[in-house]
Amino acid sequence: MKIIRWGEKGASEALRRFEELREFSAGAETPASISRTKEIFGEELTPREVVQRIIKDVREKGDLALSEYTRLLDGVEISPSNFRVPEEEIQRARKEVAKEFLQALEAAKENISSFYQGFSPPEAKTHKKDGKRIIEKWLSLRRVGIYIPGGKAAYPSTVLMSVIPARVAGVKEIAIATVPQEDGRASALVLAAAESLGINEIYTIGGAQAIAALALGTETVKRVDKIVGPGNIFVTLAKKEVFGWVDIDMLAGPSEILVLADETADASLVALDLAAQVEHSPGIAILVTSSANLAQEVQKSLEKLELEGLKQALEKYGLIMVTKGLEESVSLAERIAPEHLEIICQEGEKIAEGIRNAGAIFLGASSPVAAGDYSAGPSHILPTSGSARFSSALSPEDFMRRAHIITYTKEALEKEAPIIETLAKAEGLKWHSESVKKRVSQKSRAQKDQPPQ
């Protein structure tokens, strides 16, 4: 893992190159991936072109396209009649997983539910003025699709972290799409997590084709209003393509951690947290410290860890930056705006109070990112790639929208008519102006408008 001294020649360029690795589309176009597209599609395509092709086919061919791409991309034969997981298989999953897993699942579910328990949407707001009434109210989305990545690994924790906020918001219909395993079935771990939350609409469809199905609908899959959940580059690009047809949570890049530490930090613990992050494959791991000694000790501790591929991952996705002092360290952390920010410093509380740019902050040596990943409470679906500067963790608010009910009496419209007509004429919109003029010039009807209550 490379150590860079901030402020020295080449440091800014090194950080800029490193930041490019954080982009959600970074590294997508490799010789191997392009060769693979030629094998499947008969021509070399970029990842975006692949996704556009898949979405087009799902739009035109529906379930047949889903079956074809599941066979080509996942190596699994699934007929449309088998996309949806039967109710009995969901129930059976609890018997297929370890008792310890179910106990941990229930404990994590309780923590997450407890965290969101106090949430309630803002009360309807009413604005009245001169016979005009405007009501602003909050509505939960009707139907949401949740993508749970899978394949070699399973992520039941993401089921909890996405379904619970949606339920708290009042979403009635929740559909899960998850990558089929080699045997064509969904992971029993994912099914058990879904069953614990009362979710019974689960599809063994993964990748960009799953996003297309949720966004557009097919013969088997009913379209949704919003799609949430992490995935690989093709899933993320697909979410970007379908945004506008449906809402999405975010465009997620590689998962990332930035540890902000001083000389009081335990180097072995910092090393473990950095190593844990690159397990995501890829995962970005950064240490920012003003202690050159800590930087070297962390580097030594990482070298002692035995994990296949860890050294190569840290060489590419790991970085240690040594600064001249705490103020410079904090400034760097703010610039990077990490998904996860661990603060292990003597003045940790003070630093945390001043941080604006981080998806989630983990304060103190006993608060590892792993706790937030599984059981702390807030959703672990967080902004990446520096988007913590302007976005937040997934929450119940993300499953709601505002609506306005606008009511005018005739007298109120007459009063504002000059404003509306003048602005409409200035913009060259004649019939906007006429739609108001006609109303105010009409004689009063037998049944007059009633003033808003």
Which residues are known catalytic residues?
A: 339-340
Alpha-carbon Rg for the chain, nearest whole angstrom, is: 26
Are residues 393 and 383 in contact, defined by beta-carbon separation less than 8 angstroms? yes
Which residues, at least 6 apart from 214, have a Cβ–Cβ distance to it below 8 Å?
145, 147, 175, 177, 221, 223, 224, 227, 246
Cα of 143 vs its chain's centroid, Å: 17
The phi, psi pair for 414, rounded to 5°, reads: -60, -40
Burial of 199 (0-12, 13-18, 19+ CB in 10 A): buried
The rounded distance, in Å, linking the Cα atoms of 99 and 264 is 40
| 424-429 CB contacts, 8 Å cutoff, 24+ apart | none
Q: Minimal CA–CA distance to 192: which of 62, 306, 96, 75?
A: 96
Q: Using H for helix, E for strand and C for coil, what is the string for 223-270?
A: CCCEEECCCCHHHHHHHHHHECCEEECCCCCCEEEEEEECCCCCHHHH
Q: Is the dihedral of CA 277, 278, 284, 289 positive or negative?
A: positive
- Take residue 220 and report the two structure tokens written for it: 């088997």
| 165, two tokens | 């906020």
